[in-house]
Amino acid sequence: MDGSPVKRFIPLLLLCLVFVQAPAVSASVDIGRIGQPPTTLSDVYLRDGTAYISIDEVLGALGLRGTWDPVRHRYSFRTPAGTASIAPGSPYLRLGERFIPLDVPPRFIDGDLRVSEDFVTVRLPALLGSPIYFRNHQPREAPPADADSSLDRLFAFLLHKSKPATGGPALRAVALDPGHGGEDVGAISPRGDMEKTISLDVARRLERLLKMRLGTSVYMSRSGDYTVSAQQRLRIAANPDVDALVLLHAQGAFSPETRGVTLIVRPQEESEAGALVRGEGGSMRLARHLADSLQEKGIAVAGVMRAPLPHLGRGDLPTVLVELGYLTNPDDLARLTTPSGQEALAEALFAGLRSFAEQERKEARP
């Protein structure tokens, strides 16, 4: 056979390999324990918009290791909370006798069991009881540019309200962001109560009310005491069914007299076309519904205000940051730290979200 057709074929073959392989490995990430130099992992695979990383490599970067059981088809590793095991395709992580749901099941890709980026940034720190340093060199939402403007674009992307579905529940899904977490404790009361604990407690109660009474899906930016990045916090709002984002905080003041709930919305809102929304905007309407229902339940509202806080982002998704009260005021502190007080706050926020959704739906009707 003449060698020339083969020679002509080889560059074509190489070209094909380049095209086939290039999209498979898409990014690299840095992972490590806080305070120790991180390890760069470069075999990060993108599938359906999710970054998958080898569980062996992730644990290795944290000084841990797991074992694959080829008979039971499970991967197990030890954590301070007990032995955890995961299986390819399974939407559950097993921890002792408990089954913890996973948003994204692990997958076998290219010969390795791989877990999602969210598993590494959300589940793993909760299991290990300590924050993990994590950096994706090529975050899926935004191209890297200078830090401020890329974060800004990320927010703009995340916080654009999707079209509400007609017919379904009034509130399809709510994103809840309990402030702070992990080493970031937030404000502290004179007797040592921490904002990070209060924000999570109230968020959990509100989550339960929304799920139980309205069947609303709830996306939480954290479900335990660990550090969450600004991107991870707002990522929950990227779910297409999210109708509102509520950020929960508590604050402190110099004077013990200062008290009440403060509701904060971003200064202006943009439509999807980038034009400023005329009138109040969904965030301000949501804030007013929340303020009304808090007051109806006898909880003082210090004010509803607009402030250019970076974590409120841009866009037109109804977004309200709720400062639940002052840790420096005895009455507020009692409400913020007792089960009955936290439940009263959650009930009021729930009622405000529900009346907001009902009102929006009425007005959306022709």
Strands 82-86 and 92-95, by their bridges, are antiparallel
Please give the size of the binding site for Zn ion, defined by CB under 5 A: 3
Per CB under 5 A, the list member of 249, 259, 285, 314 interacting with Zn ion is 249
CB contact at 8 A, 220 and 176: yes
Whichever of 177 and 207 has its CB closer to Zn ion, that residue is 177
> In the bound complex, what is the minimum distance in angstroms from residue 71's beta carbon to Zn ion?
49
Q: How many helices (H) and strands (E) does the chain have?
A: 10, 17
> Can residue 186 be called a binding residue for Zn ion (CB under 5 A)?
yes
Do the Cβ atoms of 319 and 247 come closer than 8 Å?
yes
The span of 1-9, 69-77, 132-140, 248-256 binding Zn ion (CB under 5 A) equals 248-256
Closest distance of CB 160 from Zn ion, Å: 25
178 binds Zn ion (CB under 5 A): no
Among 179, 181, 281, 325, contact with Zn ion (rule: CB under 5 A): 179
Q: Give the DSSP letter of residue 123.
A: I
Residue 297 CB, nearest approach to Zn ion (Å): 22
Residues 250-279 that bind Zn ion (CB under 5 A): none
Pick the closest to residue 198 from 216, 225, 220 (CA basis).
225
- Name the β-bridge partners of 219: 175
Contact criterion met (CB below 8 Å) for 218 and 210: yes
CB atoms within 10 A of CB 114: 25
Sign for the CA dihedral angle at 56, 180, 246, 99 comes to positive
Smaller CB separation from Zn ion, 139 or 179:
179
> Which CB sits closer to Zn ion, 142 or 321?
321
Question: Rounded CA gap, 42 and 138, in Å?
Answer: 11
- Which among 123-131, 174-182, 312-320, 331-339 is the span making contact with Zn ion, rule CB under 5 A? 174-182
Nearer to Zn ion, 177 or 316 (CB): 177
Instruction: Point out which span in 81-89, 150-158, 182-190, 235-243 binds Zn ion (CB under 5 A).
Output: 182-190
CB of 335 to Zn ion, least distance (A): 17
For residue 210, give the DSSP letter: I
Q: Which residues pair with 50 in a beta bridge?
A: 47
Provide the sign of the torsion angle of the four alpha carbons 160, 164, 168, 170, taken in this order.
positive
- The stretch near Zn ion (CB under 5 A) out of 44-52, 67-75, 130-138, 245-253 is 245-253
Which x/- pattern over 194-233 shows residues binding Zn ion (rule: CB under 5 A)? ----------------------------------------
- Calculate the alpha carbon distances from 118 to 26, 105, 257 in Å: 16, 11, 42
Q: Which is nearer to Zn ion, 186 or 352 (CB)?
A: 186
Residues contributing to the site for Zn ion (CB under 5 A):
179, 186, 249
